[in-house]
Chain A
Amino acid sequence: MSRTEKIAAGVLRGDRRSIAKAITIVENNPHEAQELVATIFPHTGKAHIIGFTGAGGAGKSTLIEKIVREYRRRGKSVGVIAVDPTSPFTGGAFLGDRIRMQELSTDEGVYIRSMATRNYAGGISRATKDASKILDAAGKDIVIVETAGAGQSEVEIVRVAQTIVVLHAPGLGDEIQAIKAGIMEIADVFVVNKADRENADKTAIDIQTMLRLGSKKTGWQTPVLKTVALTGEGVPELLEKIEEHRCFIEGDAACKENLLKTRAEAELLEAIQERASRALIAKLRAEGKLDQLLREIIERKVDPVSAADRLVKKAINDD
């Protein structure tokens, strides 16, 4: 087996060292890259590739850290490619996106790689697409590509990702900015981050107004969401929209059905939790048994969890 074949085999096993070497190959060596990508290509196309773009300082890395956590909570494995600019003067780069995500670095279900643009235009590097294929072939359910801070015309990410999230922060521009061509046209989901700041609502409204002037030809309604990346506020809702978009592009009715079911189940669970506990306590109180049970717990004769278990079992069997 050649070195490239060994690395490709390692990638398909999901071996982290092999993934690391493979990405270095697609960055450095076009000939070896071609062989490598050809080998893994039949195993790609399973991951959902999500692009995050927006101005530097909008909060992309911080938001991605929270999104990855949410995906992990749902049992998905995640690969992240974080792109930062190469200096056009020295060829060097300072890759600092990882700083916001370092707590994820020891989670075996997460793989993070920093890439420099190496003076490729459009907010990504020439090798970014192949790197996303490597993470896809390695079995990651979700691949997130964070572009270098992008201004207006860096739209290369559409060639890499299936779902594009464009991040804004309040105070970066007025409604004229929202009408401009380029990055504003590629969004599948708009996010106004730092939504706890002044003018967040106005920024969201400006974008919504622009969207109403003409929507995408595909029929997808681009939503505008608000998040606070530092606290994680709005992150579950963002993830729902991303998933919804995945169903939409896959044109998959079953996928949509599933999503609706998952959401309905979560809502039902929440409603049951609230109502059932209130009803049980009310019943105990009405029967005059609450005080006695509380006393038993205080005196350590029974623990709260066992007491709750008994109550729930009894309530279910009574019906």
Chain B
Amino acid sequence: MQNERKIRVLIAKPGLDSHDRGAKVVARALRDAGMEVIYTGLRQTPEQIVETALQEDVDVIGLSILSGAHKTLFPRILKLLKKQDLTDIMVFAGGIVPEEDVSEMKKLGIKEIFGPGTTTEEIIQYVNKNLPKRDQS
């Protein structure tokens, strides 16, 4: 039997906004690209997201946010990931993040932020290219 390595991605909706069309479109696109996509559903706390990432042993987390609360929620998520020693997970974001906040978010550890107009193909390519090397077979 040969080893079968699948990319596992968590798509999460932190905070209170309930617009999940974007999250679902991205989840579906990554699924069609051959990845195993876990979707948390709406209104997740940073604690729920990080605990889910831990239990599901994902390689990548995609955060979808349109509420404007990224400056509160993203740092909290990244801090919890650090606390759980899960810094080998690649985190990207999508939705509405104002231009002036992008570099700050990237400095915190968000690898990439995809705004309106991004094609799903760009996201798939990005994930495939920037997949973290994790300690597993």
Name A residues whose Cβ lies closer than 8 Å to a Cβ of B. Answer: 3, 16-17, 19-21, 23-25, 27-30, 32, 86-87, 90-96, 98-100, 102, 105-106, 111-114, 116, 118
Contact = CB atoms under 8 A, between A and B. Distances in A.
Contact of B48 (A87, A90, A96, A105): A105
Contacts of A16: 54-55
Contacts of A27: 4, 6
Interface of B: 1, 3-6, 27-28, 30-41, 44-45, 47-48, 51-52, 54-57, 84-85, 135-137
A29 B135 CA distance: 13
B19 to A, nearest CB: 16
Nearest to B137: A29
27 contacts: A27-B4, A28-B4, A29-B137, A30-B1, A30-B3, A86-B36, A87-B32, A90-B31, A90-B32, A91-B34, A92-B34, A92-B35, A92-B36, A94-B37, A95-B39, A96-B39, A98-B56, A99-B40, A102-B44, A102-B52, A105-B52, A106-B48, A112-B55, A114-B36, A114-B38, A116-B6, A116-B36
A28 B37 contact: no
Given A24-B136, A92-B37, A98-B52, 8 more contacts: A3-B135, A20-B55, A21-B136, A28-B6, A28-B137, A90-B32, A92-B35, A94-B39
A28 B31 contact: no
A29 B6 CA distance: 11
Most-contacted residue by chain B among A23, A86, A114 (CB, 10 A): A114
B57 A21 contact: yes
Contacts of A87: 31-32
Contacts of A114: 36, 38, 56
A32 B57 contact: no
Contacts of A112: 52, 55
Nearest to B7: A92
Nearest to A112: B55
A19 B57 CA distance: 9
Contacts of B31: 87, 90, 92-94
